[in-house]
Amino acid sequence: MTHGIRIHNTFGDDVFADGRCLFVKDTGVCFQHSGNSEAVVGSMPYARTTGRPDAWYPLLRAHKDGNTDKLFQYTNRYFHWAGSGLEPSYNAPGATSEKIPVTAATDIADQLFFQMHPNGFVAQTQLWYALTPEIVPRKIAGVCVPEGSAAHYADPIRYFIASHSGLPAPSAGYGLRITDPTTGGVRYDSRWDNVRVRDFFVVSDTDIADVLENNAVKTYTPRQPVGDPYITTSLNWSARYDSGGDKFHYPRLSWDGSAFVLDRLQINGPSILRPGPSFYINRGFTVTVADPEI
């Protein structure tokens, strides 16, 4: 008879059956770009149907306030980016000047988690940037925060990078280390800060459609208590244009203290942005919820 230790989580899963755990590779506070003549890569998601990114949230806000000459300033106002600053990116001749965040997320498997904001999120982008050998490949990630009842969209948002590669050397001292019997690689080391994944849930295409079309409200309650949730999502961009009154609708994901709530954010847009009655993106996404040991 062979003896050993097997570690299971709350859901009965074998924690180490599928490989290495996620650890906190880096942490920080998101920054916002103050420039008004250039954009950050990843902040222009929508297809251009009439020569501009119609129904894009920051663009709509700029038009409503009569500041279309400051389009990029409005774009940068609502986006929060993980990293410590910006540096130039590759720009094709005649293209919009863009910059990319300086970040420690330099592995394609790195995942960026963002602390929930009081106003919620209308979008999250996370993409792998590796265009030219002159620029170090990296994961670019950011969230778009809408205006709320008060102007809290500039409130700081903390983030952390979850990874199992490129980790700093563990602190000195004793701990528990588990290695892969085949490769010898480290699956777990208790001296690293662990990413405690609490739960995940799927926001389906049909959920998005119900919210955008019918003003429905969807609730997603984590199966484990979460005190200060940080989330990462798959690509999260959706919008709908209602030609009946020049209204633009966006799905907003927020945290009410015990559950995630998906509801509809409506902005009455100017007719100049009218993209045609068929403009509609309802893209479902997966949300992973975590508490970091930070």
Find the Cα–Cα–Cα–Cα dihedral 162, 139, 78, 230, rounded to 10°.
-10
Cα–Cα distance between 121 and 250 in angstroms, integer? 10
Task: Report helix, strand and coil shares of the chain as percent, to nearest 5.
Answer: 10, 35, 55
Closest Cα to residue 165, out of 141, 133, 192, 190?
Answer: 192
Cα–Cα distance between 229 and 253 in angstroms, integer? 13
Give the pLDDT of the chain (294 residues) as one tens digit per residue: 666 677 777 777 777 776 678 889 999 999 988 776 677 887 765 544 444 545 577 767 766 776 666 667 777 788 899 999 998 887 655 556 778 899 999 999 999 999 999 999 998 988 898 877 888 899 999 998 988 766 667 788 999 999 988 888 887 788 888 887 788 778 888 888 888 889 999 999 999 999 999 999 999 999 988 989 999 998 888 888 777 767 888 899 999 999 999 999 988 766 656 665 567 778 899 999 998 765
How far apart, in Å, are the Cα atoms of 98 and each of 51, 101, 104, 194, 246?
Answer: 18, 10, 19, 34, 30
In a domain, 265, yes or no: yes
In a domain, 7, yes or no: no
pTM of the model: 0.86
Non-local (6+) Cβ contacts of 202 within 8 A are 284, 285, 286, 287
* Category of 244 on φ-ψ map: left (φ > 0), alpha (ψ -120 to 50) or beta: alpha
Residue that has been written with the tokens 């984590």 in this structure: 222
In a domain, 236, yes or no: yes
Query: At 162, phi and psi to the nearest 5?
Result: -100, 135
In a domain, 11, yes or no: no
In a domain, 220, yes or no: yes
Closest Cα to residue 146, out of 24, 239, 243, 16?
Answer: 239
In a domain, 97, yes or no: yes
Domain count, the chain: 1
In a domain, 1, yes or no: no
Residue 181 belongs to domain spanning: 23-165+175-292
In a domain, 40, yes or no: yes
Q: Which amino acid is at 129?
A: Y
